[in-house]
């Protein structure tokens, strides 16, 4: 089962990220050289994206615990004129983003391939250590009464007898590894903020694969990416019901 084509897909953001085994030491000329390759395609104002890392260090006594918070430059983002399509470059990292309305896999994968080839030209990595594909879906339901989760999803929080069954807020997260290929799957389902008369659910899916001992050959990257996309589509369709599909105007 692959992900179907919908007139109104629920995708808020799709992200493809590569992490590379460098062929040379990273330097900050790479984003500038990369931008020269894409500047006619991504004409929006470049943005700086920082990440905040928190590290906990525990001594023998709880009082000796230390918390260190550091802010690091994660990547530079280069958006399109309408800011719906972006490419990000950071130390040995490349990401390609697609915001609502989702452009479709054919166009998205074309942009991924294009950005990937440009990155190879300027950074000259020797391989890839991680590929991740993430889809963040926002599913909006117009209702006059409480929603029964089982009518829309095949996975949802279940409570035992004796526990109040009316759920007001929830987040569920599962991580699993495929048996045939060491692909990691993360599924997060939660409720979201919605105006009166609606309920919103966030279905966040990430499929990824790491190559820690030996980097993946650059020639094999795109075929592995398409395998991840196939798995993501299968998972998405297996998690939702036909009633949910009706919300997306299924073809």
d(CA 5, CA 126): 36
36: left (phi over 0), alpha (psi -120 to 50) or beta: alpha
* Angle value at C-alpha 190, between 185 and 194, nearest 5 degrees: 140
Distances (CA, A) of 95 to 16, 80, 184, 210: 6, 14, 18, 16
Strand partners, 153: 240
d(CA 86, CA 136): 16
pLDDT along the chain (251 residues), means of 10: 81 98 91 96 90 54 56 80 97 97 96 98 97 97 82 84 73 95 96 86 97 96 97 96 91 64
Which DSSP string corresponds to 170-189? Answer: -EEEEEEE-SSS--EEEEEE
What's the pLDDT score for residue 158? Answer: 76
What's the pLDDT score for residue 5? Answer: 84
DSSP three-state, residue 251 = coil
Strand partners, 206: 134, 186
Q: Are 187 and 235 in contact (CB under 8 A)?
A: yes
**Among residues 202, 181, 53, which one has the least CA distance to residue 134?**
202
DSSP three-state, residue 154 = coil
Instruction: Match 């060491």 to its residue by tokens.
Output: 182
What's the pLDDT score for residue 210? Answer: 98
Beta strand spans in 58-126 (E): 66-79, 85-90, 93-99
H-assigned helices in 101-249: 105-123, 221-239, 242-247
What's the pLDDT score for residue 45? Answer: 94
Can you say whether the dihedral through the CA atoms of 96, 212, 58, 73 is positive or negative?
A: negative
- Predicted TM-score of the model (pTM): 0.88
């Amino acid at each position: 089962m692959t992900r179907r084509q919908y007139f109104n897909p629920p995708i808020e953001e799709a992200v493809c990220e590569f992490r590379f085994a460098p062929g040379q030491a990273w330097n900050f000329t790479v984003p500038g050289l990369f931008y020269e390759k894409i500047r006619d395609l991504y004409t929006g104002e470049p943005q700086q994206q920082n990440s905040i890392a928190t590290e906990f260090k525990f001594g023998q006594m709880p009082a000796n615990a230390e918390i260190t918070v550091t802010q690091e430059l994660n990547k530079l983002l280069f958006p399109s004129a309408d800011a719906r399509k972006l490419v990000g470059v950071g130390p040995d990292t490349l990401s390609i983003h697609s915001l609502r309305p989702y452009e479709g896999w054919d166009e998205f994968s074309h942009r991924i391939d294009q950005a990937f080839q440009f990155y190879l030209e300027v950074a000259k990595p020797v391989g890839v250590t991680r590929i991740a594909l993430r889809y963040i879906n926002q599913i909006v339901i117009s209702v006059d009464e409480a929603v029964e989760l089982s009518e829309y999803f095949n996975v949802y929080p279940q409570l035992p007898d004796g526990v109040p069954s009316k759920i007001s807020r929830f987040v569920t997260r599962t991580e699993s590894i495929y048996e045939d290929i060491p692909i990691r799957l993360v599924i997060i389902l939660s409720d979201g903020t919605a105006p009166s008369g609606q309920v919103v659910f966030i279905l966040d899916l990430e499929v990824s694969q790491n190559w820690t001992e030996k980097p993946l050959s650059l020639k094999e990257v795109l075929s592995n990416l398409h395998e991840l996309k196939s798995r993501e589509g299968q998972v998405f369709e297996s998690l939702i019901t036909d009633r949910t599909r009706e919300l997306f105007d299924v073809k």
